[in-house]
Structure 1
Amino acid sequence: MKILVVSDSHGDRQIIASLVKRYEQQVDGIFHCGDSELKLDDPLISHLHIVKGNMDLADFAPAEVEEVDNHRILLTHGHLQGVNDGLLNLKLYAKSKAADIVLFGHTHQLGVALDQGILFVNPGSISFPRGQYAAIGGTYAIISSAGQQLTVQYYDRQFNALNKLKFSF
């Protein structure tokens, strides 16, 4: 499995188009965690798994569950699960969906955690990052699996791997 995760592009259509062009043939899916601000009829939508964020006007689903190589992936923005206040509600939601990988955004802060067998990944905001790693600029993540091991590698907007932001579980 190899998937790309991006979030909170807030109308920056060009970066999403660049990610699709660069990676579409290299990954099993491109997952957008919401606040894309893309229109429902935008041709880019057909290249993405995408959910509705709190700033989206398009009527995307609030969450999506996808199966990729024996992984059950929950894609959501996170605002409906109160991720600004912690991951408890998101974890309970993930368990209700039997997900082992959860992709979310909303906070604009990248982060990764493994909790009770569930991998939580926030790719940060590709356009308006916040928090400890904001100085890097926008980020996205690629999650890959080899056997039972999952690896999360973060990248900057110039497609450079951020060596200090690589995590294996």
Structure 2
Amino acid sequence: MKCLLVSDSHGSETELSEVIERHRGEVDAVFHCGDSELSNDSSILEGVHTVQGNVDKPGEFPEDTAETVKGVRVYVTHGHLYNIKMTHIPLSYRAEETQARMACFGHSHHPTAFEDQGILFVNPGSVMQPRTRPEQTYAIASFDESGGAEIRFYERESAEEVTDLYASFPAGTQ
């Protein structure tokens, strides 16, 4: 299973569209972790699992979603309702409730990937407004048949991999 993860595009339609179209043919699903600042009928978000961010128009998208993609349960939320800038623990409880293998979030604009209690946590960063690094980033998560995963981060404009953010999670390490 392979999915594209984007977040915090903050109304940048052209840039978001470029990233999605660049990878749409090679992934099984596309997730936007909130703060798109687009309407739910935007053609850019067609076929994209999108959640509500703290600056999105209230009620435009669901607060969270849990989808199973090729056998991998993916939970997505923006993170502001789970205090994600301080700790991942409240989010971990919700991810566990949804039986997620991967929990995706945004809000902090900080690209990261880590595993805790068998759940992968991934923040793809921001495709437009990075905070802790200079790169405008997004991520691609890949799961193999044994359950192992790789998270690769890319710079938005060049599509070059940001190799120091790469994370690998072998199967059975939960």
The one-letter amino acid paired with 1:166 is: Y
Tell me which protein shows more strand as a share of its residues: 1
Q: Distance in 1 between matches of 2:141 and 2:40?
A: 26
Q: Is the 8 A contact 1:78 1:105 kept in 2?
A: yes
* 1:33, distance to aligned residue in structure 2 (A): 0.1
Q: Is the 8 A contact 2:77 2:106 kept in 1?
A: yes
* 1:130, distance to aligned residue in structure 2 (A): 1.0
1:139 corresponds to 2:137: yes
2:172 aligns with none
TM-score, scaled to structure 1:
0.95
TM-score, scaled to structure 2:
0.92
* 1:47, distance to aligned residue in structure 2 (A): 2.8
2:16 aligns with 16
1:76 aligns with 77
Q: How does 1:55-66 map to 2 (within 5 A)?
A: 55-57=55-57, 59-66=60-67
Structure 2 residue runs without a partner (length 5+):
170-174
Q: Is the 8 A contact 1:9 1:126 kept in 2?
A: yes
Per-residue Cα deviation, 1:42-69 (whole angstroms, up to 9, x for no partner): 1112131100000001610000110012
CA-based RMSD of the aligned residues comes to 1.0
1:156 aligns with 155
Q: Is the 8 A contact 1:20 1:47 kept in 2?
A: no
Q: Is the 8 A contact 1:17 1:44 kept in 2?
A: yes
The one-letter amino acid paired with 1:41 is: D
Structure 1 runs, 4 residues or longer, greater than 2 Å off: none
1:115 aligns with 116
Q: Is the 8 A contact 2:109 2:131 kept in 1?
A: yes
The one-letter amino acid paired with 2:103 is: V
